[in-house]
Structure 1
Amino acid sequence: MTERLVVIGGDAAGMSAASQARRLKGPEELEIVAFERGHFSSYSACGIPYWVGGDVSALDELIARSPGEHRERGIDLRMRTEVTAIDVPGQRVRTRDLEAGTEAWTGFDKLVIATGARPKRPALPGIDAPGVHGVQTLDDGKALLDSLDRTQGRRAVVVGAGYIGVEMAEALLGRGYEVTILHRGEQPMATLDPDMGRLVHRAMDGLGITTVASAEVTKVLTGEDGRVRAVATEDAEYPADVVVLGMGVVPETSLARAAGLPLGARGGLLTDLAMRVRGQGNIWAGGDCVEVLDLVSGRERYVPLGTHANKHGQVIGANVGGDYATFPGVVGTAVSKVCDLEIARTGLREKDAREVGLRYVTVTIESTSRAGYYPGAAPMTVKMLAERRTGRLLGVQIVGREGAAKRVDIAAVALTAGMTVEAMTALDLGYAPPFSPVWDPVLVAARKATAAVRAAG
């Protein structure tokens, strides 16, 4: 008997799951129907800032597989079709064709929820005015580019200084805009400790980006034509011809909530190691709509990244297709850049360690990306956290120029393996003057952290 798999969401997690399930089971065993409300499937949302900034020349370069290619592989992908309800007891979903306006019910034997995330958009006066943009999907990116083409002025305000905010600031700066970033925190990049965020702030100032800290946006002001003209905080007004919301995202789980499925503290779906929704035998979830286990803190965490989404999809597809796979968790690795400044973190910040009751030591070192005498050696700052009693590595943050960000992968592997900072000092890393000093900056930090752990008793 042929079973039917229904997938909600046509991007990374959803279509990875559908594709993997199709590899394991043919159409005679498993019918696959996927619904996507947007115009695009299987694309790189992470590439949108670089498309907006002109580093990526065309939209098509961000699309890994088109709807037609999915259909050729035996997946009935229905675009511009929004799922409006999940009937768990009845094993069916209600859909609306966004072009025709018609609604229908589709039954399922197995269901994958991959509804992704939505940009934070606070309920402020003027927030929905023309010229104000969130950036999460290719449709969002296209809308922003269309808006930039119509905009006469060259003043941009970015609200929020996380990964999306700083990447969009770079994109707009590259397009010749005068860029101001407004953010609520003490320093930009709240995913870093404030002392490391200060380095990012200093670098952005040097690039000509105006960064305003502790700025609580109160409203968006509009002109006579209804289009955005400024962003207001409690203390000032900042002229704007375009506004980009870079305040992060929240899991898009309104369907799951309405269906009574279990959600975590951050609003993401909760799953087991096989990515099956807890308490459900035939429903899986993955991507930016789920919370996952943090391997360092031992708690559930919301980490919306394309790398995780693709892995979730592979795990889900294997289990749906009759194979077996698990997703054990994450250590919270992320990298970004603003112009030539590279930013990386993995594991816990000081704030995170305190929240879970860990006692720790911290060290910060200055080094270079290459041997100091080799041309092109660039400065790099590495901060490392280690558990006070055991010396277990807890987290690493890196800010520097070329060659800085990907060094965080050394720490990500060490965190996943549960290594101590002392054990890290013996890692056999590659060395040659064009690539690193004889002691890699991460190992220099590990040596200093080892000494701090010993000194702390």
Structure 2
Amino acid sequence: MGAKQRMVVIGGDAAGMSAASRARRMRAPDELEITAFERGRFTSYSACGIPYWVGGEVDERDQLIARTPEEHRRRGIDLRMRTEVTEIDLDRQCVRTRDLDDEDGAQERWHGFDHLVIATGARPLRPPLPGIDAPGVHGVQSLDDGQELLDRLEERRVRHAVVVGAGYIGVEMAEAFCHRGIHVTVLERAEQPMNTLDPDMGALVHEAMNGNGIETVTGAEVTEVLTGTDGAVRGVATAKGEYPADVVVLGLGVRPETGLARDAGLPLGESGGLLTDLAMRVRGQENVWAGGDCVEVLDLVSGRERYIPLGTHANKHGQVIGRNVGGGFATFPGVVGTAVSRVCDLEIARTGLLEAQAREVGLQYVAVTIRSTSRAGYYPRAAPMHVKMLAERRTGRLLGVQIVGREGAGKRVDIAAVALTAGMTVEQITALDLGYAPPFSPVWDPVLVAARKAAGAVAEDAREADGG
């Protein structure tokens, strides 16, 4: 038997602990020593569930935790909480750490590794605005963040909330405040909410948010966070006016947390995310791996690297890394950019490319939008649904789908995600054998209706290009 190897993991959430757990299942402690460092107070939790915990739909914080530090330790992983990695030394193959609860800093230590896993996640965007660091301004990226926000809501009589940014986190947090009976204003600098959709589909979200009592102001770039005599937040200022706030949540998106990797000279992409090969090994390195919200991934539709921070990807990255470190072999082939969200009773989904993204990579396309219903039109509670579909000119290859509608709309995007992964054309999609019954779908499912219209648009475009 060879010498015991050392696996060091930086980050104790989805990617990091999935990698550690998978490697431990494959190799015993006398073969592989696994040490993981997490600077926060929680590990292996669902960050995606934080808005629903804040809104009261999830009762307890611990319901979001898949595995506690104690459970990881019982499985043979030396998990060090409240421990921050401050430096990576690739030449010496070691990392430097410090104990965040040690005020005098005497507990800085070096730890050697044979395999290093970087799973440092992402950080919320926090623009350098006056008042941005005032008490009452919150990012929502970790359970620690969620707990701090809830503590504020419980300590103060919060009547007005402002959410800055109308992306996934922004609209989900707006819904959470609605559930708590708090008046909420969403400020978005773009022309429509949800920049993960095309503007025409975002307009449907805008209409629904206002209809649900969420004041949604677009074209409103924040210039200052206003504070009171106590130094705490009292409002938010934009060129369009001022909005009162007892609490402010930043929903401006995230950036990869790759400062350690950058300082170590590891390769980063345009977004600042780490670049890896298909095995999730950092490019140019033999024993350094990375996964989760700190990496860029291959977009299978455009063929380019993109930054798409989602928990679904992070868990898969961890499984791939753990299998490879454990002596097996696995790859992560890429993504098609699928995401689904909800604001009140409106479901929002997308996969593949938006129009702007298709243009950016030089793809020529046709775009169609259809309006259908979630169930057979005569069936009770049939609700309207809009489906937008992009197809490549000439070939008819599916490029992207966006769906906005009520109950039953969101998860229909999975049909399109599978079709994108398989490289199907819109004509081929029209022949898919999908399940049908009046409580679930019209005879022609809305995705198939959109595919049929897109196939017609591709054919018409080809006739016009040929002069027919």
- How does the TM-score come out when normalised to structure 2? 0.97
In the alignment, which of 62, 74, 92 is matched to residue 90 of structure 1?
A: 92
Amino acid at match of 2:39: R
2:191 paired with 1:186 = yes
Aligned to 1:9: 11
Amino acid at match of 2:84: E
Task: Tell me the secondary structure at the aligned position of residue 336 of structure 1.
Answer: strand
Checking the alignment, whether the CA contact within 8 Å between 1:151 and 1:242 is kept in structure 2 is no
Query: Structure 1 CA distance, aligned partners of 2:61 and 2:183?
Result: 25
1:234: Cα distance to partner? 2.2
Amino acid at match of 1:23: R
Query: Structure 2 CA distance, aligned partners of 1:12 and 1:202?
Result: 35
Aligned to 1:67: 69
In the alignment, which of 339, 344, 347 is matched to residue 342 of structure 1?
A: 347
1:391: Cα distance to partner? 0.2
Aligned to 1:369: 374
Which aligned runs of 4 or more in structure 1 are off by greater than 4 angstroms?
Answer: none
Q: How does 1:275-314 map to 2 (within 5 A)?
A: 275-314=280-319
Query: Structure 2 CA distance, aligned partners of 1:18 and 1:330?
Result: 23
Query: Structure 1 CA distance, aligned partners of 2:408 and 2:241?
Result: 39
Q: How does 1:415-454 map to 2 (within 5 A)?
A: 415-454=420-459
Task: Tell me the secondary structure at the aligned position of residue 381 of structure 2.
Answer: coil
Task: Tell me the secondary structure at the aligned position of residue 270 of structure 2.
Answer: coil
Aligned to 1:106: 111
Aligned to 2:394: 389
Task: Tell me the secondary structure at the aligned position of residue 186 of structure 1.
Answer: coil
Q: How does 1:328-339 map to 2 (within 5 A)?
A: 328-339=333-344
Checking the alignment, whether the CA contact within 8 Å between 1:16 and 1:313 is kept in structure 2 is yes
- How does the TM-score come out when normalised to structure 1? 1.00
2:247 paired with 1:242 = yes
Aligned to 2:465: none
Consecutive unaligned residues of structure 2, counting only runs of 5 or more, are: 463-468
Q: Output one character per residue of 1:359-405: Cα deviation in whole Å (capped at 9) or x when no partner.
A: 00011000011111111111100000000110000000000000000
1:180: Cα distance to partner? 0.4
Task: Tell me the secondary structure at the aligned position of residue 286 of structure 2.
Answer: coil
* Matched residues, number: 457
Aligned to 2:144: 139
1:285: Cα distance to partner? 0.1
Task: Tell me the secondary structure at the aligned position of residue 45 of structure 2.
Answer: coil
Q: How does 1:15-26 map to 2 (within 5 A)?
A: 15-26=17-28
1:456: Cα distance to partner? 0.2
Aligned to 2:120: 115
Aligned to 2:408: 403
Aligned to 2:221: 216
Query: Structure 1 CA distance, aligned partners of 2:445 and 2:178?
Result: 33
1:162: Cα distance to partner? 0.1
Amino acid at match of 1:316: I
Query: Structure 1 CA distance, aligned partners of 2:56 and 2:121?
Result: 25
Taking only the aligned residue pairs, the percentage that are identical comes to 79
1:237: Cα distance to partner? 1.0
Q: Output one character per residue of 1:172-219: Cα deviation in whole Å (capped at 9) or x when no partner.
A: 111111110001101000000000000000000100111111111111
Task: Tell me the secondary structure at the aligned position of residue 7 of structure 2.
Answer: strand
Aligned to 2:132: 127
Amino acid at match of 1:417: A
Aligned to 2:161: 156
Query: Structure 1 CA distance, aligned partners of 2:303 and 2:257?
Result: 24
Amino acid at match of 1:73: R
1:407: Cα distance to partner? 0.1
Task: Tell me the secondary structure at the aligned position of residue 170 of structure 1.
Answer: helix
Q: Output one character per residue of 1:102-142: Cα deviation in whole Å (capped at 9) or x when no partner.
A: 21110101000000000000111110100000000000000
Query: Structure 2 CA distance, aligned partners of 1:352 and 1:151?
Result: 43
Task: Tell me the secondary structure at the aligned position of residue 444 of structure 2.
Answer: coil
Q: Output one character per residue of 1:254-274: Cα deviation in whole Å (capped at 9) or x when no partner.
A: 000010000000000000000
Amino acid at match of 2:315: N
Query: Structure 2 CA distance, aligned partners of 1:98 and 1:179?
Result: 35
Query: Structure 1 CA distance, aligned partners of 2:30 and 2:411?
Result: 45
